[in-house]
Amino acid sequence: MRQFFHTHKNPVTVIIVIIILGGMFAYSQMQTSLFPEITFPKIKIIADAGQQPVNKMMITVTRPLENAIKKVPQLQTIRSTTSRGSCEISAYLNWDANIDISQQRIEALINEIRNTLPPGIDITVERMNPSILQVIGYSLESKTRSAIDLKLLADYTVKPFLSQVEGVSQIMVVGGKTKEYWLQLDIQKMTSLSITPDMINTALSNTNFIRSNGYLSDYRQMYLTVTDASVSSKDELENIVISNNKRIVLLKDIADVQIQEAKEYVKINSNGHESVLLGVIKQPNANLVDLSDKMATKLADLKRILPKDVSIEPYYVQADFVKDSIKSVTDSLWIGLVLAILVAIVFLRSFKASSVILVTIPITLLLTLIWLYAIGQTFNIMTLGAIAAAIGLIIDDAIVVVEQIHRTHEEFPDEPTTSLVHKAINYLLPAMIGSSLSTIVIFVPFFLMTGVAGAYFKVMTDSMIITLVCSFFVTWVILPVIYMLFTKDVTANSVTKKKTAHGVKQQPWIAFFIKRPYISFAIIITLAFSIYFILPKLQIGFLPEMDEGSIVFDYATPPGTSLQETDRILREVEKLIMQVPEVETYSRRTGTQMGFFITEPNTGDYLIQLKKDRAKTTDEVIDEIRQKVESSQPALRADFGQVIGDMLGDLMSSVQPVEVKIFGSDQKKLQQLSQQVADIVSNVRGTADVFDGIVIAGPSVSVAPNSANLAQYGITPSDLQYQLQTALEGNIIGSVYDKEQLSNVRMVYPGNRTLSVDGLNQLQVFLPGGQLKPINSLAGIHVNSGDAEIQRENLQSMGIVTARLDNRDLGSAIKDIQQQVSSKISLPQGYAIVYGGDYANQQQSFKELLIILISASLLVFTVILFLFKDFRIAFIILLIAILGIAGSYMGLYFTNTALNVGSYTGLIMIVGIIGENAIFTFLQFKESLKESNDIDQAIIYSISTRLRPKLMTALGAIIALMPIALGIGTGAQLHQPLAIAVIGGFIVAMPLLLIVLPTLIRLVFKKNHASLLKHG
């Protein structure tokens, strides 16, 4: 191995070329996405059973479904929301559960009990993962065409055209109106002709069909014979014969056939205009950026074939944010890298040594890309963030080796480069192995982390491990060869010649500090006290937040508000939104929402896209819109968030960070407690969009048939309900094959759209003979107030109070809420309050991160113990490493940055980084002590020798992380807390490594250093 780099220079050079070419290939092939492709262990079940009351829905649908789903293996939590006629159940499984098999099991268990559920119930089961959410949104508009024409154009032209793009899973069409043929019955004519609605229904079912009669053989040919009685136009529909009793009665004789818009309790608006929205759902493994580019090209082709009076424009493109985020992280990485190279040039004053670092780091990055590509990872904000965060460690590895070779060259100017390189690498190899292991092992315990934080940050830590392993390989095997390639094959005589064997400048200040140990103890006590003092005062959060530049605004008008009134209120809100100069575009859904939810006609959401060039942050724009809306529309319940954060919240248990759950048995008592808790939360500083969780379905009208009276006139309750539906919603009694689509035929009474409660009381019902009878003589009609939705978790009823945060951290807000709730709320026996949402996730993650921190520290201790075989040294280095956390805390405290999962990861990194640097220092001390046999002289020499590489690595790493720490660029806020924590730790690491460590080494080994020589 002594001549390895000389004898294997050519093979290693070929490996360098392979890495460069392979890395470039991997870079060109790797997919790009915002986050790693992670399947969330959540399955949602939505059951629709018409308009059953909430209490009956709970008994007949929700509870049986919950009991069935509860049997699924690895089920963690089950939550349900029961509304009028529908229920929504969310099944949360363990993160290691197979979501596909779990979905099949749930569907099988539901099928087992389907016979016990109400007839006609519709049940949908969906896996909840990011791939079911739209990544691109388009708005289709026209000033001249009807809503029916726009819907037809979207369904039969735009959707098929855009679906041709590779990577598209689904094109969802929302809005517009569906074409229907309405038969408005003339009740008086029908009475005079003794025709009932049932006769019309029977006539259409006996007429409007296509059926096979069988095959016919004739002259060696076989023919399929069909009876085609289908209806394909309005004229054919009008001329259907309804009765042939004494005279022929056609449909047009007793009904007015009209082309109408189907009744849909949905309104779609884009930038103030009625429109159709198209949402693009990508396939799970599709490249988001490539898909977006292909869709943009396809959209340009589509515009050429669309009618001139129709326009289609994007209102949301997730790839834009992804591109900006990836570019921002990449730019930060390269800016930091260039600045770090400048630091190397300043300290080494050697163009060759700096050039070696400049070439080595890209090779490390390219090798990392090859590895990431091989394991199927993508370019996303977590993998790139890991590389950006690890860039300081990559620079550290390269600087340590190059500086050692360079210093060896300075000390032995007459030796050939080959000999110098081998001498430097052989000297550093034990420390390189130990230091690299100390930074790698700190990420190993992250497999203990669970939940969404574990899913995403495990990708990040795995990427860091890959990056550091690649860095070790490149700096140990490839960097020396690169250094030799940059050196002419002559005796190295170009550097300043040193007369002494150890030409390192002695630093007198080192002796000053090591001979005054009270200074080091003062530093230790100060740092320990700072941890004790600062930690309780730190802001506490869960996941780092990003400024996405897009807003989700969920809203709800008072229960029972009509769709028309809701639309009127929202048009006033839209005037306020457009007054905000930072708003670029918006789209609005009423009666439906983005995602997979039960949605009432009085609820919906806005998606607001902000301008890229704006002075205000997204949170500041949210505050402005919130104030405008609350002051002008106090009855409107609003909830603001950012798009991607909101989507991730939908995939987890709660969208809102603050969630207070009150468990109990009585619904009325739960509602009272929820209102009391909501009042308390509203008065806590820093909370916004507080909601007591009480959702009231609109008022209802109950029609109770009088069985005796119905039997007297020969009518069944089913006949009565059919005629009631004809008078209101209308009944679909057939379809018309019209332009490659089936349009429903709906039978309605005149004035069905304007019928009032009083009008319902006066409704005339057809008897079997065609006579009319008022409904109030056949049934009782009662108006009922709305029922509240029922929330349950793990089969227990609960009330949920939620809130957003407004310029306040999660930890302090929850602390105030807990204090006030415990002092002001008196719970009855059997009731309990549990805090969920981000707080519960944060508490779980912090417990796991504490275990990870302890485990990482013990692993670093074990590595050092194996390397130096001395408990005292291992303990000293571990103490120094843990004290470095104080710097991270101070960095977070003075920059008002929250301690969250990201910054906690930075704390754990600091332990490994300081341990790595301490290993090199002690190795130098150990070697120097062998030569001088003087502890003080060995300490002074080792610190003087390691001073330059330590300053270079610290400054290089700090400067490399500075662009991320400053939060420059889109999405940089995600990794900002981690960068701040690492930079704070690096700053405090300097006095710890240069003052405290040598002092402690001197105290331990001053009396008897013979044991050190023995172990060496």
SS (H, E, C) 832-877: EEEEEHHHHHHHHHHHHHHHHHHHHHHHHHHHHHHHHCCHHHHHHH
Q: Which residues have C-beta within 8 Å of that of residue 517, sequence separation ≥ 6? A: 999, 1002, 1003
Q: What is the pLDDT of residue 489?
A: 54
- List the structure tokens of 180: 């229907």
Q: What is the pLDDT of residue 491?
A: 44
Write out the DSSP string of 128-159: --GGGS-SEEEEEEESSS-HHHHHHHIIIIIH
Q: What is the pLDDT of residue 470?
A: 92
Q: Answer whether 768's CB lies under 8 Å from 710's CB.
A: no
**DSSP 8-state assignment for residue 552:** E
Q: Answer whether 306's CB lies under 8 Å from 140's CB.
A: no
Q: What is the pLDDT of residue 598?
A: 59
Digit-coded pLDDT (tens) for 811-865: 899 999 999 999 998 899 989 999 988 888 888 888 989 999 999 999 999 988 8
**DSSP 8-state assignment for residue 535:** G
- Residue 173's H or E segment, with its range, is strand 168-175
The structural domains of the chain, ordered by start, are 1-30+350-487 (1.20.1640.10), 42-127 (3.30.70.1430), 196-211+220-253+700-784 (3.30.2090.10), 509-537+842-946+970-1015 (1.20.1640.10)
Average pLDDT over residues 171-195: 88
Q: Is the dihedral of CA 768, 201, 53, 604 positive or negative?
A: negative
Q: Answer whether 151's CB lies under 8 Å from 176's CB.
A: yes
Residue 485, CA atoms < 13 Å, CB-side half-sphere: 18
Other C-beta atoms within 10 Å of 836: how many?
20
Query: For residues 105 and 355, what is the distance between their CA atoms, to the nearest angstrom?
Result: 60
**Higher pLDDT among residues 403 and 615, named by residue:** 615
Mean pLDDT of the chain: 85
Q: Which residues have C-beta within 8 Å of that of residue 116, sequence separation ≥ 6? A: 64
Other C-beta atoms within 10 Å of 122: how many?
10
CA 442 to chain centroid: 26
Residue 366, CA atoms < 13 Å, CB-side half-sphere: 18
Work out the pLDDT band at 484, boundaries 50, 70, 90.
confident
Q: What is the pLDDT of residue 382?
A: 82
Q: What is the pLDDT of residue 956?
A: 77
Digit-coded pLDDT (tens) for 503-541: 556 677 888 888 888 999 999 999 999 999 998 888 888
Residue 305, CA atoms < 13 Å, CB-side half-sphere: 10
DSSP H helices in 264-350: 288-305, 318-348
**Cα diameter, the chain:** 130
Q: What is the pLDDT of residue 498?
A: 41
SS3 assignment, position 616:
coil
Residue 787: Cβ-neighbour burial (10 angstroms; 0-12, 13-18, 19+): buried
Query: For residues 978 and 781, what is the distance between their CA atoms, to the nearest angstrom?
Result: 64
Q: Please check the confidence at residue 971 and state whether its pLDDT lies above 70.
A: no
Q: Answer whether 106's CB lies under 8 Å from 72's CB.
A: yes
Q: Please check the confidence at residue 896 and state whether its pLDDT lies above 50.
A: yes
- Residue 483's H or E segment, with its range, is helix 479-485
- List the structure tokens of 718: 């089913």
**β-bridge mates for residue 270, sequence order:** 273, 587
Work out the pLDDT band at 490, boundaries 50, 70, 90.
very low
**Higher pLDDT among residues 954 and 853, named by residue:** 853
Q: Answer whether 677's CB lies under 8 Å from 691's CB.
A: no
Other C-beta atoms within 10 Å of 252: how many?
16
**DSSP 8-state assignment for residue 550:** E
Average pLDDT over residues 415-444: 81
Query: For residues 501 and 945, what is the distance between their CA atoms, to the nearest angstrom?
Result: 13
Work out the pLDDT band at 502, boundaries 50, 70, 90.
very low
**Higher pLDDT among residues 416 and 233, named by residue:** 233
Query: For residues 488 and 352, what is the distance between their CA atoms, to the nearest angstrom?
Result: 11
SS3 assignment, position 517:
helix
Which amino acid would we find at residue 114?
R
* Predicted TM-score (pTM) of this structure: 0.80
Write out the DSSP string of 342-398: HHHHHHH--HHHHHHHHHHHHHHHHHHHHHHHHTT--B-HHHHHHHHHHHHHHHHHH
Query: For residues 855 and 846, what is the distance between their CA atoms, to the nearest angstrom?
Result: 14
- List the structure tokens of 8: 């294997």
Query: For residues 853 and 177, what is the distance between their CA atoms, to the nearest angstrom?
Result: 58
**β-bridge mates for residue 603, sequence order:** 556
Count of residues making up the chain: 1016
Per-residue b or e along 358-376, where b marks 16 or more CB atoms closer than 10 Å to that residue's CB: bbbbebbbbbbbbbbbeee
Q: Please check the confidence at residue 596 and state whether its pLDDT lies above 60.
A: no
CA 348 to chain centroid: 45
Q: Answer whether 909's CB lies under 8 Å from 389's CB.
A: yes
Q: What is the pLDDT of residue 405?
A: 80
> What proportion of the chain, given as a percentage, has pLDDT over 70?
95
Range of 16-30, 276-290, 322-336 with top mean pLDDT: 16-30
Q: What is the pLDDT of residue 335?
A: 78
Q: Answer whether 265's CB lies under 8 Å from 178's CB.
A: no
